Structure 1
Protein backbone atom coordinates (compact mmCIF):
# COMPACT_ATOMS: atom_id res chain seq x y z
CA UNK A 1 0.00 0.00 0.00
CA UNK A 2 1.35 3.43 -0.89
CA UNK A 3 0.89 6.98 0.34
CA UNK A 4 -1.05 6.05 3.44
CA UNK A 5 1.45 6.39 6.23
CA UNK A 6 5.01 7.17 7.02
CA UNK A 7 5.18 4.25 9.43
CA UNK A 8 4.10 0.63 9.55
CA UNK A 9 3.41 -1.96 12.19
CA UNK A 10 2.77 -5.66 12.44
CA UNK A 11 0.54 -7.20 15.07
CA UNK A 12 -0.37 -10.53 16.61
CA UNK A 13 -4.09 -11.21 16.31
CA UNK A 14 -6.02 -12.78 19.18
CA UNK A 15 -8.67 -15.09 17.75
CA UNK A 16 -11.11 -16.80 20.08
CA UNK A 17 -10.66 -20.54 19.75
CA UNK A 18 -13.49 -23.06 19.68
CA UNK A 19 -14.20 -25.78 22.21
CA UNK A 20 -16.28 -28.92 21.70
CA UNK A 21 -19.97 -28.69 22.56
CA UNK A 22 -22.83 -31.04 21.82
CA UNK A 23 -25.86 -29.13 23.11
CA UNK A 24 -26.01 -26.36 20.50
CA UNK A 25 -29.06 -26.33 18.21
CA UNK A 26 -28.22 -25.41 14.61
CA UNK A 27 -30.04 -22.43 13.13
CA UNK A 28 -30.27 -21.44 9.47
CA UNK A 29 -28.68 -23.55 6.76
CA UNK A 30 -25.29 -22.30 5.62
CA UNK A 31 -24.89 -20.90 2.14
CA UNK A 32 -21.96 -21.52 -0.16
CA UNK A 33 -19.94 -18.73 1.39
CA UNK A 34 -20.78 -19.93 4.87
CA UNK A 35 -18.81 -23.14 4.43
CA UNK A 36 -15.60 -23.15 6.42
CA UNK A 37 -12.62 -22.17 4.24
CA UNK A 38 -10.28 -25.09 3.67
CA UNK A 39 -7.28 -22.85 4.32
CA UNK A 40 -7.46 -19.58 6.25
CA UNK A 41 -6.58 -16.69 3.96
CA UNK A 42 -4.01 -14.11 4.98
CA UNK A 43 -5.43 -11.06 6.80
CA UNK A 44 -5.80 -7.85 4.82
CA UNK A 45 -6.62 -5.97 8.02
CA UNK A 46 -5.99 -6.69 11.70
CA UNK A 47 -7.79 -5.21 14.68
CA UNK A 48 -5.91 -5.50 17.96
CA UNK A 49 -7.47 -4.34 21.25
CA UNK A 50 -9.53 -1.70 19.45
CA UNK A 51 -11.72 0.64 21.50
CA UNK A 52 -13.82 3.45 20.05
CA UNK A 53 -14.71 6.53 22.07
CA UNK A 54 -17.21 9.33 21.55
CA UNK A 55 -15.89 11.97 23.88
CA UNK A 56 -15.43 10.25 27.25
CA UNK A 57 -17.86 7.45 26.39
CA UNK A 58 -16.22 4.16 25.41
CA UNK A 59 -18.73 2.81 22.88
CA UNK A 60 -16.71 -0.31 21.99
CA UNK A 61 -14.03 -1.95 24.11
CA UNK A 62 -11.10 -4.25 23.31
CA UNK A 63 -11.96 -5.75 19.90
CA UNK A 64 -9.38 -8.04 18.26
CA UNK A 65 -10.00 -9.91 15.00
CA UNK A 66 -8.56 -10.37 11.48
CA UNK A 67 -10.22 -9.42 8.20
CA UNK A 68 -9.10 -12.07 5.72
CA UNK A 69 -8.27 -11.65 2.03
CA UNK A 70 -11.13 -12.35 -0.43
CA UNK A 71 -13.39 -13.56 2.36
CA UNK A 72 -16.73 -12.22 3.63
CA UNK A 73 -16.72 -11.39 7.34
CA UNK A 74 -20.10 -10.78 8.99
CA UNK A 75 -20.64 -8.76 12.17
CA UNK A 76 -23.79 -9.73 14.06
CA UNK A 77 -25.29 -8.84 17.41
CA UNK A 78 -28.16 -6.94 19.05
CA UNK A 79 -28.74 -3.23 18.51
CA UNK A 80 -26.31 -1.00 20.37
CA UNK A 81 -23.49 -3.55 20.56
CA UNK A 82 -21.05 -1.53 18.43
CA UNK A 83 -21.07 -3.42 15.11
CA UNK A 84 -21.48 -0.36 12.92
CA UNK A 85 -19.10 1.63 15.10
CA UNK A 86 -16.37 -0.95 14.50
CA UNK A 87 -17.20 -1.11 10.79
CA UNK A 88 -16.88 2.67 10.42
CA UNK A 89 -13.55 2.56 12.25
CA UNK A 90 -12.16 0.33 9.49
CA UNK A 91 -11.99 3.21 7.01
CA UNK A 92 -11.97 6.12 9.45
CA UNK A 93 -15.55 7.19 8.86
CA UNK A 94 -15.78 7.89 12.59
CA UNK A 95 -13.33 10.74 11.98
CA UNK A 96 -16.35 12.68 10.69
CA UNK A 97 -18.03 12.48 14.13
CA UNK A 98 -16.98 15.22 16.56
CA UNK A 99 -15.14 13.83 19.58
CA UNK A 100 -14.68 10.33 18.12
CA UNK A 101 -11.33 8.61 18.57
CA UNK A 102 -9.91 5.11 18.27
CA UNK A 103 -7.52 3.37 20.66
CA UNK A 104 -5.65 0.16 19.91
CA UNK A 105 -4.43 -0.80 16.45
CA UNK A 106 -6.17 -1.20 13.07
CA UNK A 107 -3.69 -2.18 10.38
CA UNK A 108 -4.07 -2.53 6.62
CA UNK A 109 -1.29 -4.68 5.16
CA UNK A 110 0.68 -3.99 8.32
CA UNK A 111 0.23 -0.21 8.33
CA UNK A 112 -1.67 1.45 11.16
CA UNK A 113 -4.39 3.43 9.41
CA UNK A 114 -4.58 5.82 12.39
CA UNK A 115 -0.85 6.54 12.49
CA UNK A 116 0.31 10.16 12.18
CA UNK A 117 0.58 11.22 8.56
CA UNK A 118 -2.05 8.79 7.27
CA UNK A 119 -4.50 10.48 4.89
CA UNK A 120 -8.05 9.25 5.67
CA UNK A 121 -9.10 9.97 2.08
CA UNK A 122 -6.39 7.60 0.86
CA UNK A 123 -7.60 5.03 3.40
CA UNK A 124 -11.13 5.26 1.98
CA UNK A 125 -9.84 4.77 -1.56
CA UNK A 126 -8.50 1.39 -0.49
CA UNK A 127 -11.38 0.59 1.88
CA UNK A 128 -14.75 1.61 0.44
CA UNK A 129 -18.16 1.65 2.09
CA UNK A 130 -21.76 0.93 1.12
CA UNK A 131 -24.26 2.36 3.57
CA UNK A 132 -27.50 1.02 5.03
CA UNK A 133 -29.68 3.29 2.92
CA UNK A 134 -28.88 3.57 -0.77
CA UNK A 135 -27.53 7.07 -1.34
CA UNK A 136 -27.06 7.73 -5.06
CA UNK A 137 -25.90 11.22 -5.94
CA UNK A 138 -28.55 13.39 -7.66
CA UNK A 139 -26.70 12.79 -10.91
CA UNK A 140 -26.99 10.49 -13.89
CA UNK A 141 -26.16 6.82 -13.51
CA UNK A 142 -22.99 7.45 -15.53
CA UNK A 143 -21.91 10.41 -13.40
CA UNK A 144 -22.54 8.48 -10.18
CA UNK A 145 -19.97 5.91 -11.26
CA UNK A 146 -17.54 8.37 -12.85
CA UNK A 147 -17.52 10.65 -9.80
CA UNK A 148 -14.76 8.84 -7.88
CA UNK A 149 -12.47 8.20 -10.85
CA UNK A 150 -12.76 11.86 -11.82
CA UNK A 151 -11.72 12.88 -8.32
CA UNK A 152 -8.71 10.60 -8.78
CA UNK A 153 -7.70 12.53 -11.88
CA UNK A 154 -9.19 10.42 -14.68
CA UNK A 155 -10.69 12.78 -17.25
CA UNK A 156 -10.60 11.01 -20.63
CA UNK A 157 -14.09 10.00 -21.70
CA UNK A 158 -12.96 6.75 -23.26
CA UNK A 159 -11.25 5.68 -20.04
CA UNK A 160 -14.26 6.68 -17.96
CA UNK A 161 -16.56 4.74 -20.30
CA UNK A 162 -14.57 1.58 -19.63
CA UNK A 163 -14.59 2.15 -15.86
CA UNK A 164 -18.35 2.81 -15.80
CA UNK A 165 -19.13 -0.33 -17.77
CA UNK A 166 -16.78 -2.48 -15.70
CA UNK A 167 -18.17 -1.16 -12.40
CA UNK A 168 -21.80 -1.61 -13.44
CA UNK A 169 -21.02 -5.08 -14.76
CA UNK A 170 -19.24 -5.92 -11.51
CA UNK A 171 -22.34 -4.82 -9.60
CA UNK A 172 -24.62 -6.92 -11.84
CA UNK A 173 -26.38 -3.78 -13.08
CA UNK A 174 -24.98 -3.12 -16.55
CA UNK A 175 -27.59 -5.10 -18.51
CA UNK A 176 -30.39 -3.28 -16.70
CA UNK A 177 -29.12 0.28 -17.21
CA UNK A 178 -26.76 0.28 -20.22
CA UNK A 179 -29.37 2.02 -22.39
CA UNK A 180 -30.21 4.72 -19.84
CA UNK A 181 -26.89 5.88 -18.45
CA UNK A 182 -28.00 9.51 -18.67
CA UNK A 183 -31.01 8.80 -16.43
CA UNK A 184 -30.85 9.97 -12.82
CA UNK A 185 -29.67 7.35 -10.40
CA UNK A 186 -32.56 8.39 -8.17
CA UNK A 187 -35.00 6.98 -10.74
CA UNK A 188 -33.85 3.40 -10.10
CA UNK A 189 -35.61 0.97 -7.79
CA UNK A 190 -34.32 0.55 -4.24
CA UNK A 191 -32.39 -2.61 -5.04
CA UNK A 192 -30.94 -1.08 -8.20
CA UNK A 193 -29.91 2.02 -6.27
CA UNK A 194 -28.03 -0.12 -3.77
CA UNK A 195 -26.25 -1.96 -6.58
CA UNK A 196 -25.47 1.45 -8.13
CA UNK A 197 -23.84 2.44 -4.83
CA UNK A 198 -21.84 -0.79 -4.87
CA UNK A 199 -20.77 -0.02 -8.45
CA UNK A 200 -19.77 3.48 -7.37
CA UNK A 201 -17.68 1.98 -4.57
CA UNK A 202 -15.83 -0.50 -6.80
CA UNK A 203 -15.24 2.07 -9.57
CA UNK A 204 -12.23 3.41 -7.64
CA UNK A 205 -10.93 -0.16 -7.27
CA UNK A 206 -10.70 -0.55 -3.51
CA UNK A 207 -9.43 -3.77 -1.97
CA UNK A 208 -11.92 -3.90 0.89
CA UNK A 209 -15.66 -3.15 0.74
CA UNK A 210 -17.53 -2.39 3.95
CA UNK A 211 -21.31 -2.92 3.91
CA UNK A 212 -23.47 -1.53 6.70
CA UNK A 213 -26.84 -3.33 6.64
CA UNK A 214 -26.97 -3.10 2.82
CA UNK A 215 -30.22 -5.09 2.53
CA UNK A 216 -32.21 -3.77 5.49
CA UNK A 217 -34.46 -1.58 3.32
CA UNK A 218 -34.83 -4.06 0.45
CA UNK A 219 -37.47 -6.65 -0.42
CA UNK A 220 -36.55 -10.36 -0.50
CA UNK A 221 -35.93 -10.42 -4.27
CA UNK A 222 -33.60 -7.41 -4.15
CA UNK A 223 -31.90 -8.87 -1.05
CA UNK A 224 -31.27 -12.13 -2.90
CA UNK A 225 -29.63 -10.22 -5.76
CA UNK A 226 -27.35 -8.33 -3.36
CA UNK A 227 -26.38 -11.56 -1.60
CA UNK A 228 -25.57 -13.27 -4.90
CA UNK A 229 -23.55 -10.20 -5.85
CA UNK A 230 -21.52 -10.53 -2.62
CA UNK A 231 -20.47 -14.05 -3.63
CA UNK A 232 -19.26 -12.72 -6.98
CA UNK A 233 -17.50 -9.69 -5.49
CA UNK A 234 -15.64 -11.86 -2.97
CA UNK A 235 -13.65 -13.29 -5.88
CA UNK A 236 -11.99 -9.89 -6.28
CA UNK A 237 -12.64 -8.01 -3.03
CA UNK A 238 -12.53 -8.51 0.72
CA UNK A 239 -15.96 -7.79 2.23
CA UNK A 240 -17.09 -6.93 5.75
CA UNK A 241 -20.85 -6.80 6.33
CA UNK A 242 -22.85 -5.68 9.35
CA UNK A 243 -26.24 -7.37 9.46
CA UNK A 244 -29.07 -7.89 11.95
CA UNK A 245 -30.21 -10.84 9.84
CA UNK A 246 -28.53 -13.94 11.21
CA UNK A 247 -29.78 -16.08 8.33
CA UNK A 248 -28.10 -13.66 5.95
CA UNK A 249 -24.84 -13.89 7.88
CA UNK A 250 -25.07 -17.69 7.75
CA UNK A 251 -25.77 -17.64 4.01
CA UNK A 252 -23.16 -15.20 2.77
CA UNK A 253 -20.17 -15.10 5.11
CA UNK A 254 -17.02 -17.15 5.59
CA UNK A 255 -16.35 -15.73 9.07
CA UNK A 256 -18.68 -14.29 11.68
CA UNK A 257 -17.99 -12.05 14.66
CA UNK A 258 -20.65 -11.83 17.37
CA UNK A 259 -20.87 -8.65 19.41
CA UNK A 260 -22.95 -7.82 22.43
CA UNK A 261 -23.31 -4.98 24.93
CA UNK A 262 -21.90 -5.44 28.43
CA UNK A 263 -22.48 -3.30 31.51
CA UNK A 264 -19.38 -2.48 33.53
CA UNK A 265 -19.09 -1.93 37.29
CA UNK A 266 -20.07 1.71 36.85
CA UNK A 267 -23.27 0.74 35.06
CA UNK A 268 -22.05 1.93 31.63
CA UNK A 269 -22.77 -0.16 28.53
CA UNK A 270 -19.92 -0.98 26.14
CA UNK A 271 -19.92 -2.99 22.93
CA UNK A 272 -17.76 -6.11 23.20
CA UNK A 273 -16.68 -8.83 20.79
CA UNK A 274 -17.81 -12.14 22.27
CA UNK A 275 -16.63 -14.59 19.64
CA UNK A 276 -15.03 -14.74 16.18
CA UNK A 277 -14.63 -17.87 14.08
CA UNK A 278 -15.65 -19.69 10.90
CA UNK A 279 -19.31 -19.00 10.20
CA UNK A 280 -20.11 -22.70 10.20
CA UNK A 281 -18.70 -23.09 13.71
CA UNK A 282 -20.41 -19.96 15.01
CA UNK A 283 -23.82 -21.17 13.84
CA UNK A 284 -23.51 -24.86 14.69
CA UNK A 285 -21.05 -25.15 17.57
CA UNK A 286 -20.27 -21.78 19.18
CA UNK A 287 -17.75 -21.65 21.98
CA UNK A 288 -19.63 -19.10 24.07
CA UNK A 289 -23.01 -19.60 25.73
CA UNK A 290 -23.90 -15.98 24.91
CA UNK A 291 -23.41 -16.70 21.21
CA UNK A 292 -25.62 -19.78 21.40
CA UNK A 293 -28.29 -17.82 23.26
CA UNK A 294 -28.30 -15.12 20.59
CA UNK A 295 -28.36 -17.30 17.49
CA UNK A 296 -31.09 -19.51 18.98
CA UNK A 297 -33.24 -16.51 19.83
CA UNK A 298 -32.98 -16.59 23.62
CA UNK A 299 -32.05 -12.90 23.67
CA UNK A 300 -31.48 -10.05 21.27
Structure 2
Protein backbone atom coordinates (compact mmCIF):
# COMPACT_ATOMS: atom_id res chain seq x y z
CA UNK A 1 0.00 0.00 0.00
CA UNK A 2 1.22 3.47 -0.82
CA UNK A 3 1.29 5.48 2.42
CA UNK A 4 -0.17 8.44 0.53
CA UNK A 5 -3.50 6.67 0.02
CA UNK A 6 -6.27 5.77 2.39
CA UNK A 7 -5.77 2.93 4.82
CA UNK A 8 -9.56 2.23 4.60
CA UNK A 9 -9.64 0.68 8.06
CA UNK A 10 -13.23 1.74 8.60
CA UNK A 11 -15.97 -0.19 6.89
CA UNK A 12 -17.05 1.74 3.80
CA UNK A 13 -14.62 4.56 4.55
CA UNK A 14 -13.76 6.85 1.67
CA UNK A 15 -11.49 9.29 3.43
CA UNK A 16 -8.02 9.90 2.02
CA UNK A 17 -4.92 10.55 4.05
CA UNK A 18 -1.88 12.64 3.33
CA UNK A 19 1.60 11.15 3.57
CA UNK A 20 3.09 11.09 7.03
CA UNK A 21 4.86 14.31 7.96
CA UNK A 22 7.09 12.68 10.56
CA UNK A 23 10.70 13.82 10.15
CA UNK A 24 12.48 10.58 9.31
CA UNK A 25 14.28 8.82 6.49
CA UNK A 26 11.07 6.97 5.61
CA UNK A 27 7.32 7.35 5.95
CA UNK A 28 6.56 4.70 8.56
CA UNK A 29 3.94 2.01 8.21
CA UNK A 30 3.54 1.93 12.01
CA UNK A 31 4.31 4.66 14.50
CA UNK A 32 4.18 3.63 18.16
CA UNK A 33 3.94 6.59 20.51
CA UNK A 34 4.42 5.93 24.25
CA UNK A 35 2.67 2.56 23.84
CA UNK A 36 1.83 0.69 27.04
CA UNK A 37 -0.14 -2.55 27.19
CA UNK A 38 -2.23 -3.62 30.17
CA UNK A 39 -3.88 -6.88 31.15
CA UNK A 40 -6.31 -5.70 33.76
CA UNK A 41 -4.30 -3.57 36.18
CA UNK A 42 -1.00 -5.21 35.20
CA UNK A 43 1.20 -3.14 32.87
CA UNK A 44 2.90 -5.77 30.70
CA UNK A 45 4.72 -3.33 28.39
CA UNK A 46 5.62 0.24 29.18
CA UNK A 47 6.36 3.33 27.07
CA UNK A 48 7.36 2.00 23.64
CA UNK A 49 8.25 4.49 20.88
CA UNK A 50 9.08 3.02 17.48
CA UNK A 51 8.70 3.65 13.75
CA UNK A 52 8.48 0.63 11.45
CA UNK A 53 9.61 1.13 7.88
CA UNK A 54 7.79 -0.10 4.77
CA UNK A 55 8.97 -3.14 2.79
CA UNK A 56 11.59 -4.11 5.32
CA UNK A 57 11.92 -6.87 7.89
CA UNK A 58 11.91 -5.56 11.45
CA UNK A 59 12.94 -8.03 14.15
CA UNK A 60 11.84 -7.83 17.79
CA UNK A 61 14.27 -9.63 20.09
CA UNK A 62 14.77 -10.00 23.82
CA UNK A 63 14.44 -12.47 26.70
CA UNK A 64 11.22 -14.27 27.54
CA UNK A 65 8.63 -12.08 29.20
CA UNK A 66 9.93 -8.80 27.78
CA UNK A 67 6.76 -7.98 25.85
CA UNK A 68 7.86 -8.41 22.26
CA UNK A 69 4.99 -10.74 21.30
CA UNK A 70 2.57 -8.49 23.17
CA UNK A 71 3.70 -5.52 21.09
CA UNK A 72 3.48 -7.57 17.89
CA UNK A 73 -0.12 -8.54 18.63
CA UNK A 74 -1.00 -4.89 19.17
CA UNK A 75 -0.12 -4.17 15.54
CA UNK A 76 -3.18 -6.02 14.24
CA UNK A 77 -5.33 -5.76 17.37
CA UNK A 78 -5.06 -9.44 18.24
CA UNK A 79 -4.86 -8.37 21.88
CA UNK A 80 -8.47 -7.22 21.55
CA UNK A 81 -9.37 -10.90 21.79
CA UNK A 82 -7.83 -11.18 25.28
CA UNK A 83 -10.10 -10.36 28.21
CA UNK A 84 -9.14 -7.11 30.00
CA UNK A 85 -6.37 -6.26 27.51
CA UNK A 86 -6.04 -2.58 26.62
CA UNK A 87 -3.46 -0.12 25.40
CA UNK A 88 -2.38 3.37 26.39
CA UNK A 89 -0.54 5.66 24.05
CA UNK A 90 -1.06 5.42 20.33
CA UNK A 91 -0.36 3.23 17.31
CA UNK A 92 -0.63 4.90 13.92
CA UNK A 93 -1.01 2.80 10.75
CA UNK A 94 0.41 5.24 8.24
CA UNK A 95 -1.41 8.27 9.67
CA UNK A 96 -4.57 6.58 10.95
CA UNK A 97 -5.08 5.73 14.61
CA UNK A 98 -5.22 1.93 14.62
CA UNK A 99 -7.36 1.99 17.77
CA UNK A 100 -9.68 4.79 16.68
CA UNK A 101 -13.37 4.44 17.49
CA UNK A 102 -14.36 4.08 13.82
CA UNK A 103 -11.70 1.52 12.92
CA UNK A 104 -12.95 -1.98 12.06
CA UNK A 105 -10.71 -4.62 13.75
CA UNK A 106 -11.67 -7.20 11.10
CA UNK A 107 -10.39 -4.93 8.35
CA UNK A 108 -7.24 -4.31 10.41
CA UNK A 109 -6.56 -8.06 10.52
CA UNK A 110 -7.17 -8.41 6.80
CA UNK A 111 -4.62 -5.74 5.96
CA UNK A 112 -2.20 -6.83 8.68
CA UNK A 113 -1.91 -10.63 8.54
CA UNK A 114 -0.30 -12.88 11.11
CA UNK A 115 1.67 -16.10 11.07
CA UNK A 116 1.93 -17.84 14.43
CA UNK A 117 4.66 -19.79 16.20
CA UNK A 118 3.06 -23.16 15.57
CA UNK A 119 1.72 -23.83 12.06
CA UNK A 120 -2.07 -23.78 12.26
CA UNK A 121 -3.58 -24.89 8.96
CA UNK A 122 -7.32 -25.47 8.94
CA UNK A 123 -8.38 -29.15 8.85
CA UNK A 124 -9.32 -28.68 5.22
CA UNK A 125 -7.71 -29.26 1.86
CA UNK A 126 -4.67 -27.27 0.83
CA UNK A 127 -6.84 -25.48 -1.73
CA UNK A 128 -9.55 -24.59 0.78
CA UNK A 129 -7.00 -23.27 3.27
CA UNK A 130 -5.85 -20.67 0.74
CA UNK A 131 -9.32 -19.94 -0.69
CA UNK A 132 -10.92 -19.48 2.74
CA UNK A 133 -9.97 -15.83 3.28
CA UNK A 134 -10.89 -14.64 -0.22
CA UNK A 135 -14.23 -16.45 0.05
CA UNK A 136 -14.97 -14.80 3.40
CA UNK A 137 -14.22 -11.47 1.75
CA UNK A 138 -16.75 -12.21 -0.98
CA UNK A 139 -14.50 -13.53 -3.73
CA UNK A 140 -16.26 -16.16 -5.86
CA UNK A 141 -14.51 -16.07 -9.22
CA UNK A 142 -10.88 -16.66 -10.08
CA UNK A 143 -10.11 -18.59 -6.91
CA UNK A 144 -7.88 -21.04 -8.79
CA UNK A 145 -5.64 -18.13 -9.79
CA UNK A 146 -5.65 -16.73 -6.26
CA UNK A 147 -4.63 -20.09 -4.80
CA UNK A 148 -1.87 -20.64 -7.33
CA UNK A 149 -0.46 -17.14 -6.94
CA UNK A 150 -0.41 -17.36 -3.14
CA UNK A 151 1.29 -20.76 -3.18
CA UNK A 152 3.78 -19.55 -5.77
CA UNK A 153 4.65 -16.54 -3.64
CA UNK A 154 5.05 -18.78 -0.60
CA UNK A 155 7.45 -21.03 -2.55
CA UNK A 156 5.12 -24.01 -2.07
CA UNK A 157 3.35 -24.41 -5.41
CA UNK A 158 5.77 -26.89 -6.97
CA UNK A 159 5.51 -29.13 -3.91
CA UNK A 160 1.71 -29.24 -3.66
CA UNK A 161 0.27 -28.41 -7.10
CA UNK A 162 -0.68 -32.06 -7.72
CA UNK A 163 -2.34 -32.57 -4.32
CA UNK A 164 -4.41 -29.44 -3.73
CA UNK A 165 -7.40 -31.50 -2.59
CA UNK A 166 -5.40 -33.35 0.06
CA UNK A 167 -5.71 -32.43 3.72
CA UNK A 168 -3.28 -29.69 4.69
CA UNK A 169 -2.53 -31.48 7.97
CA UNK A 170 -0.65 -34.13 5.97
CA UNK A 171 2.04 -31.62 5.03
CA UNK A 172 5.34 -31.42 6.91
CA UNK A 173 5.79 -28.75 9.57
CA UNK A 174 7.78 -26.50 7.27
CA UNK A 175 5.27 -26.91 4.46
CA UNK A 176 2.42 -26.15 6.87
CA UNK A 177 4.12 -22.92 7.91
CA UNK A 178 4.60 -21.86 4.29
CA UNK A 179 0.94 -22.76 3.71
CA UNK A 180 -0.01 -20.43 6.56
CA UNK A 181 2.07 -17.68 4.94
CA UNK A 182 0.31 -18.36 1.62
CA UNK A 183 -3.04 -18.19 3.41
CA UNK A 184 -2.11 -14.76 4.79
CA UNK A 185 -0.94 -13.57 1.37
CA UNK A 186 -4.14 -14.69 -0.35
CA UNK A 187 -6.19 -11.83 1.11
CA UNK A 188 -3.71 -9.23 -0.22
CA UNK A 189 -2.42 -7.80 3.05
CA UNK A 190 -0.11 -4.83 3.41
CA UNK A 191 1.81 -6.19 6.42
CA UNK A 192 2.74 -9.69 7.60
CA UNK A 193 3.42 -10.24 11.30
CA UNK A 194 5.34 -13.38 12.29
CA UNK A 195 5.54 -14.60 15.88
CA UNK A 196 8.46 -17.05 16.20
CA UNK A 197 7.61 -18.60 12.80
CA UNK A 198 10.59 -20.97 12.80
CA UNK A 199 10.79 -22.08 16.43
CA UNK A 200 9.03 -25.39 15.72
CA UNK A 201 10.94 -26.12 12.50
CA UNK A 202 14.14 -27.97 11.67
CA UNK A 203 17.14 -26.07 10.22
CA UNK A 204 16.31 -26.89 6.59
CA UNK A 205 12.70 -25.70 6.94
CA UNK A 206 13.93 -22.65 8.84
CA UNK A 207 16.24 -21.71 5.97
CA UNK A 208 13.33 -21.94 3.52
CA UNK A 209 11.19 -19.67 5.67
CA UNK A 210 14.02 -17.15 6.08
CA UNK A 211 14.65 -17.11 2.32
CA UNK A 212 10.93 -16.65 1.76
CA UNK A 213 10.75 -13.73 4.20
CA UNK A 214 13.49 -11.90 2.36
CA UNK A 215 11.73 -12.38 -0.97
CA UNK A 216 8.38 -11.27 0.44
CA UNK A 217 9.86 -8.14 2.00
CA UNK A 218 10.17 -6.69 -1.50
CA UNK A 219 6.38 -6.33 -1.50
CA UNK A 220 5.32 -6.56 2.14
CA UNK A 221 6.28 -4.96 5.42
CA UNK A 222 7.28 -7.80 7.77
CA UNK A 223 7.63 -7.68 11.55
CA UNK A 224 9.04 -10.79 13.19
CA UNK A 225 9.46 -11.83 16.82
CA UNK A 226 12.34 -14.21 17.28
CA UNK A 227 14.42 -15.63 20.14
CA UNK A 228 17.06 -16.55 17.57
CA UNK A 229 19.47 -13.63 17.43
CA UNK A 230 21.31 -15.15 14.48
CA UNK A 231 18.03 -15.22 12.61
CA UNK A 232 17.40 -11.55 13.36
CA UNK A 233 20.91 -10.72 12.16
CA UNK A 234 20.43 -12.74 8.96
CA UNK A 235 17.03 -11.54 7.80
CA UNK A 236 16.18 -8.11 9.23
CA UNK A 237 17.06 -4.56 8.29
CA UNK A 238 16.12 -3.15 11.71
CA UNK A 239 16.09 -4.71 15.15
CA UNK A 240 14.34 -3.71 18.37
CA UNK A 241 15.76 -5.07 21.62
CA UNK A 242 13.33 -5.40 24.53
CA UNK A 243 14.08 -6.33 28.11
CA UNK A 244 12.03 -6.85 31.28
CA UNK A 245 12.46 -4.47 34.20
CA UNK A 246 11.34 -5.35 37.73
CA UNK A 247 9.72 -2.58 39.76
CA UNK A 248 9.70 -2.04 43.50
CA UNK A 249 6.72 -4.41 43.87
CA UNK A 250 8.50 -7.20 42.04
CA UNK A 251 6.39 -6.89 38.88
CA UNK A 252 8.02 -7.29 35.48
CA UNK A 253 7.38 -4.75 32.75
CA UNK A 254 8.59 -5.04 29.19
CA UNK A 255 10.62 -2.08 27.95
CA UNK A 256 12.13 -1.19 24.60
CA UNK A 257 15.84 -0.63 25.20
CA UNK A 258 17.14 0.10 21.72
CA UNK A 259 15.88 0.21 18.14
CA UNK A 260 18.28 0.69 15.26
CA UNK A 261 19.62 -0.73 12.03
CA UNK A 262 20.36 -4.42 12.57
CA UNK A 263 24.00 -4.02 11.57
CA UNK A 264 24.51 -1.42 14.32
CA UNK A 265 22.57 -3.35 16.95
CA UNK A 266 24.81 -6.39 16.45
CA UNK A 267 28.13 -4.62 15.86
CA UNK A 268 27.99 -1.43 17.92
CA UNK A 269 24.92 -1.25 20.19
CA UNK A 270 24.36 2.03 21.99
CA UNK A 271 23.14 0.46 25.25
CA UNK A 272 25.15 -1.88 27.45
CA UNK A 273 22.05 -3.97 28.10
CA UNK A 274 21.77 -4.70 24.40
CA UNK A 275 25.44 -5.63 24.22
CA UNK A 276 25.06 -7.90 27.23
CA UNK A 277 22.13 -9.73 25.65
CA UNK A 278 23.56 -10.25 22.18
CA UNK A 279 26.89 -11.41 23.60
CA UNK A 280 25.14 -13.87 25.90
CA UNK A 281 26.10 -12.29 29.19
CA UNK A 282 22.46 -12.20 30.26
CA UNK A 283 19.02 -13.15 29.01
Q: Distance in 2 between matches of 1:2 and 1:261?
A: 33
SS of the aligned residue for 2:184 comes to: helix
Q: Distance in 2 between matches of 1:99 and 1:205?
A: 31
Q: Distance in 1 between matches of 2:21 and 2:103?
A: 18
The 1:262/1:11 distance shift into structure 2, 3 A limit, reads farther
Structure 1, gaps ≥5 residues long: 16-39
- The Cα shift of 1:41 comes to 3.7
* Alignment size in residue pairs: 273
Residue 106 of structure 2 corresponds to residue 121 of structure 1: yes
- 1:144 aligns with 129
Residue 167 of structure 2 corresponds to residue 184 of structure 1: yes
What TM-score results when the alignment is normalised by the length of structure 1?
0.88
**Contact 2:194/2:223, CA 8 A, preserved across alignment:** yes
Q: Distance in 1 between matches of 2:172 and 2:250?
A: 45
- Aligned residue among 3, 10, 27 for 2:8: 3
Instruction: Report matched runs for 1:1-300 at 5 Å.
Output: 1-5=6-10, 40-156=25-141, 159-300=142-283
SS of the aligned residue for 1:277 comes to: strand
SS of the aligned residue for 1:46 comes to: strand
Q: Distance in 2 between matches of 1:2 and 1:223?
A: 33
What TM-score results when the alignment is normalised by the length of structure 2?
0.93
SS of the aligned residue for 2:166 comes to: coil
Q: Distance in 2 between matches of 1:84 and 1:222?
A: 22
- The Cα shift of 1:12 comes to 5.2
Greater relative contact order (Cα < 8 A, sep 6+): 1
What are the Cα deviations for residues 8-32 of structure 1, in whole angstroms up to 9, with x where unaligned?
896858x9xxxxxxxxxxxxxxxxx
What are the Cα deviations for residues 242-290 of structure 1, in whole angstroms up to 9, with x where unaligned?
0000000000000000000001233221000000000000000000000
What are the Cα deviations for residues 68-90 of structure 1, in whole angstroms up to 9, with x where unaligned?
01000000000000000000000
**Contact 1:168/1:196, CA 8 A, preserved across alignment:** yes
- The Cα shift of 1:210 comes to 0.1
SS of the aligned residue for 1:172 comes to: coil
- 2:3 aligns with none
Q: Distance in 2 between matches of 1:124 and 1:214?
A: 18
Q: Distance in 1 between matches of 2:161 and 2:121?
A: 17
- The Cα shift of 1:45 comes to 1.0
**Contact 2:7/2:94, CA 8 A, preserved across alignment:** no
Q: Distance in 1 between matches of 2:102 and 2:7?
A: 12
